[in-house]
Every structure is written in structure tokens, then in C-alpha cells.
Amino acid sequence: MFGVTTPCVDAVSRALEEDFECLIFHATGVGGQSMEKLVDGGALSAVVDITTTEVCDLLLGGVLPATEDRFGAIARTRVPYVGSCGALDMVNFGPMDSVPMRYSQRKLHVHNPTVTLMRTTPEEAVRIGRWIGDRLNLMDGPVRFFLPQGGLSALDAPGRPFADPQADEALFRSLEATVRQTASRRLIRLNQHINDPNFSAEVVAEFRRIIAGRTMRRRART
């Protein structure tokens, strides 16, 4: 979860909470690391990874970065994984005067006095998509990764400060060019915005499908 993807994460959690104990992690660098540490330890049976924005900070010098091992626990354990592009439109910095000089002419949004967000460019989106795609290719368990064509965050929507369909499409095409799609590893484009209720409903439906399929295969082997 990140503030700009909260509606989606809340909707997914509500839809699953009757059947699963849902733990929500905040996309603050440490949050992603904590989630994957629990995956490595066998404490989590599946992951719905809506907000992957920590990758932006890792690659572009933000203050809430993932480590190079982001997604590694999923690959090692093969737990069912449903991911998406949540907040891949932004890089996080502190107050405005903390933004590196090389980014001074970029599209910046002051979220509050202590948080400044920078919009990713199409060129950066290609790099981000390639980095994530390479990690998805290492996953041999069931994988679904959703591409929300209506926007990646609350700031990336028509009339909002980070609306940039060109950058979003560059991200999607980079993922599609990188990911080796198979019957178990798939990218799924949806027309909706990431915070649209129909988007979260599709995420939940696909999650339930891969969980059900995994359970049926286990029963067949016993």
C-alpha cells in the first residue's frame, strides 16, 4: 500500500478477508523488505503486490528504495503471486530542497512539506519495466501481473498532476517485451485505473483462480 493506491489495496483486502488473514505492508522500502522476509520464512502463503513503487526509488535515487533482491523471495519460494504497477509513476524525495539538482527541472509534486514526488519519464518507465520484467521471469510459481491502462496512482489520472499516458504505455510495452509469458506467468492489461473498483475486482478474481488451481493440483498429487 501507498497513499496513492490505498483504495485498491483496501478493496482487495476487504474482498479476501473472509478467507485469508490479510497483512498489509506499506511501500516504504522497509515495508517491501519485511513482506519478502516473511515470504522467505514461510509465513505467507501468497502475495498480492499492488504497489511496486519501491523499484522507482531504487533505480532513480529516491528515499524509499527496494533492495536489488526485490521479488527474490517470490522466485525462491514459488508462492502464488499477483502484482501490479502501483505508483510506478513516481519517485519519492523529502522536502523540495532535498531533490537532487539533476532533477530540478522535472515534473515535481509537493505532497506535503516533507514529501516531494517526481513523475517518471517514458525513458525511465522503460528501464523500470525491464527491471521488473527480468525479476518476473525468475518466478516459476503462478504469476499474474496487472497493467492498469487508466492510470497507476491517484496522481496519474486525467486532470491529475502525473497524468502521462505516454509514460504509462512505455512501461507496459517494456514489461511486455521483457516478460516471457507462459501458461503460469502472465501479464494482464485492464482498461481501468488502478483505484477503480472494477480493477480490484479483477485482481481478486484472478488471485482466487490461481489459488484454486494450486489447491486442485496439490489434491491431485496426494
Residue 84 lies in a domain: yes
Q: 488473514: which residue's cell?
A: 21
The number of distinct structural domains making up the chain is: 1
Residues whose CB is less than 8 angstroms from the CB of residue 48 and which lie 6 or more positions away in sequence, other chains included: 12, 16, 82, 83, 203, 207
| 74 domain residue, yes or no | yes
From first to last of its 222 residues, what are the pLDDT tens digits of the chain?
999 999 999 999 999 999 999 999 999 999 999 999 999 999 999 999 999 999 999 999 999 999 999 999 999 999 999 999 999 999 999 999 999 999 999 999 998 899 999 999 999 999 999 999 999 999 999 999 999 999 999 999 999 999 999 999 999 999 999 999 999 999 999 999 999 999 999 999 999 999 997 654 544 444
pLDDT, residue 24, reads: 97
Q: Give the separation between CA 71 and CA 207, rounded to whole angstroms.
A: 17
Domain range for 65 is 3-89+121-221
Neighbours of 16 (CB within 10 A): 18
> In whole angstroms, what is the distance from residue 116 CA to residue 173 CA?
27
CA dist., res. 150 & res. 197, Å (int): 12
Contact 139, 93 (CB under 8 A): no
pLDDT of residue 213: 72
Give the pLDDT confidence score for residue 215 in this predicted structure: 55
Residue 107 lies in a domain: no
At 141, is the secondary structure helix, strand, or coil? Answer: coil
Element housing 144 (H / E): strand 143-148
User: What strands lie across the sheet with 81-86, from one edge to the other?
Assistant: 47-51, 81-86, 143-148, 185-190
Does residue 134 lie within any of the structural domains?
A: yes
185 within a domain of the structure (yes/no): yes
The amino acid occupying position 59 is L
Establish if 130 belongs to a structural domain.
Answer: yes
Backbone angles phi, psi at 146, to 5 degrees: -95, 140
Task: Establish if 101 belongs to a structural domain.
Answer: no
CATH number of the domain bearing residue 200: 3.40.50.12030
Residue 155 lies in a domain: yes
Q: Residue with C-alpha cell 519485511?
A: 34
For residues 203 and 33, what is the distance between their CA atoms, to the nearest angstrom? 23
The residues pairing with 186 across neighbouring beta strands, listed in sequence order, are 144
